[in-house]
């Protein structure tokens, strides 16, 4: 089986990319899909959200991170077995431990990722004489990772804001990209730039089509300006606007805080008042990715 490769990306920062990765991965795994999340952001937000700070430190010490893998592959030129860097069953959802459920595995980042990325950029530039060489090197590596495992239904890249080399590489490898966006004036400007020249530049020379979706996050129903922006977005043909909207809620923040490594939560506890939106988001993502009907009939 070949996994769908999905990048969650936007030029703009702080628009809910990592939180959306958390929600989508959690719901898709409950539906029975096996998900591999790659944290491409040195802020390591999705890694912290899934595992908590203590666990990240422990895994970093055990060399079980994407940072370590890229360091071994690009700086030392001697990488270990790919699977040994990946953290299995990273989510704290009880439902994912039930028979027939899928799971979320994580290729975690640490803040040191940016330094490894810079060191690789420098090395590639020296060896190949081109500033773009690192991006191409990362592209080959990310594709290799996505194709290496046959067990995953979806490989998800949590991209950093802006266009770092790793982010550009992920956008070249992806089949689909979903851009979370807050429906306010400045965020929409960022989305439009991303949808027009950003993606086109990143995909220069890639001849596979890319499916682009946009997801509204942190929506505040009472804000008139947001309602206006949403209407304009519906008419934009460059991307498919998800019908699911995730509203501004403290429950999103609560869901993204891992309680403790040994404490599990059920879906309703984790997502509270956002549980219906997260369900809908996962279901709509499955349809967007053409994953077919539910793997199992989990509700």
**Which positions lie near ligand ATP, rule CB under 6 A?**
13-19, 41, 43, 45, 160-161, 217-218, 246, 248-249, 252-253, 256
User: Cβ of residue 22: shortest distance to ligand ATP, in angstroms?
Assistant: 8
Q: How does strand 4-8 pair with strand 211-219?
A: unpaired
Q: Is 20 in the site for Mg ion (CB under 5 A)?
A: no
User: Cβ of residue 284: shortest distance to Mg ion, in angstroms?
Assistant: 20
Between 137 and 229, name the residue whose CB sits nearer to ligand ATP. Answer: 229
User: Cβ of residue 120: shortest distance to ligand ATP, in angstroms?
Assistant: 21
User: Cβ of residue 42: shortest distance to Mg ion, in angstroms?
Assistant: 10
Between 43 and 296, name the residue whose CB sits nearer to ligand ATP. Answer: 43
Q: How does strand 176-181 pair with strand 154-158?
A: unpaired
CA 119 to each of CA 30, 50, 123, 198: distance values in angstroms, whole numbers, following the listed order? 39, 27, 6, 25
Cβ atoms within 10 A of the Cβ of 104, count? 28
User: Cβ of residue 220: shortest distance to Mg ion, in angstroms?
Assistant: 20
Residues making up the chain, counted from first to last = 299
Distance, CA of 136 to CA of 127 (rounded, Å): 13
Between 244 and 295, name the residue whose CB sits nearer to ligand ATP. Answer: 244
Query: How buried is residue 65: exposed, middle or buried, by Cβ count under 10 Å (0-12/13-18/19+)?
Result: buried
Residue 252, contacted partner among ligand ATP, Mg ion, none, CB below 5-8 A by kind:
ligand ATP
Residue 13, contacted partner among ligand ATP, Mg ion, none, CB below 5-8 A by kind:
ligand ATP
Q: Which phi and psi angles does 39 have, rounded to 5°?
A: -90, 105
C-beta of residue 161 within 8 angstroms of C-beta of residue 11: yes
Question: What is the sign of the dihedral through the CA atoms of 267, 158, 52 and 296?
Answer: positive
Residue 116 exposure: Cα atoms within 13 Å on the Cβ side: 23
User: Cβ of residue 43: shortest distance to ligand ATP, in angstroms?
Assistant: 6
Contact characters 45-74, Mg ion, x per CB under 5 A:
x-----------------------------
C-beta of residue 29 within 8 angstroms of C-beta of residue 93: yes
Distance, CA of 220 to CA of 208 (rounded, Å): 36
User: Cβ of residue 295: shortest distance to ligand ATP, in angstroms?
Assistant: 26
Residue 249, contacted partner among ligand ATP, Mg ion, none, CB below 5-8 A by kind:
ligand ATP
Residues 207-236 that bind Mg ion (CB under 5 A): none
Between 137 and 285, name the residue whose CB sits nearer to Mg ion. Answer: 285
Between 130 and 243, name the residue whose CB sits nearer to ligand ATP. Answer: 243
Q: Is 256 in the site for Mg ion (CB under 5 A)?
A: no
Distance, CA of 109 to CA of 60 (rounded, Å): 9
Q: By the criterion CB under 5 A, which residues form the site for Mg ion? A: 17-18, 45
């Amino acid at each position: 089986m070949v996994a769908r490769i999905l990048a969650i990306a936007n030029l703009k920062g702080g628009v809910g990319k990592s939180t959306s990765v958390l929600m989508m991965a959690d719901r898709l795994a409950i539906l029975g899909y096996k998900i591999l999340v790659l944290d491409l952001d040195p802020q390591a937000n999705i890694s912290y959200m899934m595992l908590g700070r203590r666990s990240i430190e422990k895994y970093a010490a055990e060399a079980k991170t994407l940072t370590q893998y890229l360091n071994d592959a690009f700086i030392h030129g001697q990488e270990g077995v790919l699977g040994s860097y990946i953290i299995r069953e990273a989510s704290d959802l009880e439902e994912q431990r039930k028979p027939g459920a899928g799971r979320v595995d994580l290729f975690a980042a640490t803040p040191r990722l940016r330094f490894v990325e810079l060191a690789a950029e420098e090395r590639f530039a020296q060896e190949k004489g081109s500033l773009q060489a690192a991006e191409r090197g990362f592209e080959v590596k990310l594709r290799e990772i996505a194709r290496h495992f046959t067990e995953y239904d979806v490989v998800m890249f949590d991209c950093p804001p802006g266009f770092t080399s790793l982010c550009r590489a992920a956008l070249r490898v992806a089949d689909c990209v979903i851009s979370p966006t807050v429906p306010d004036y400045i965020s929409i400007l960022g989305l439009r730039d991303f949808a027009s020249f950003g993606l086109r530049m990143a995909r220069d020379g890639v001849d596979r089509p890319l499916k682009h979706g946009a997801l509204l996050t942190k929506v505040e129903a009472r804000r008139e300006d947001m309602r206006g922006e949403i209407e304009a977005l519906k008419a934009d043909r460059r991307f498919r606007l998800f019908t699911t909207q995730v509203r501004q809620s403290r429950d999103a923040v609560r869901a993204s805080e891992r309680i403790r490594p040994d404490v599990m939560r059920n879906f309703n506890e984790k997502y509270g008042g956002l549980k219906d939106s997260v369900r809908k988001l996962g279901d709509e993502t499955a349809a967007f990715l053409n994953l077919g009907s539910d793997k199992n009939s989990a509700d």
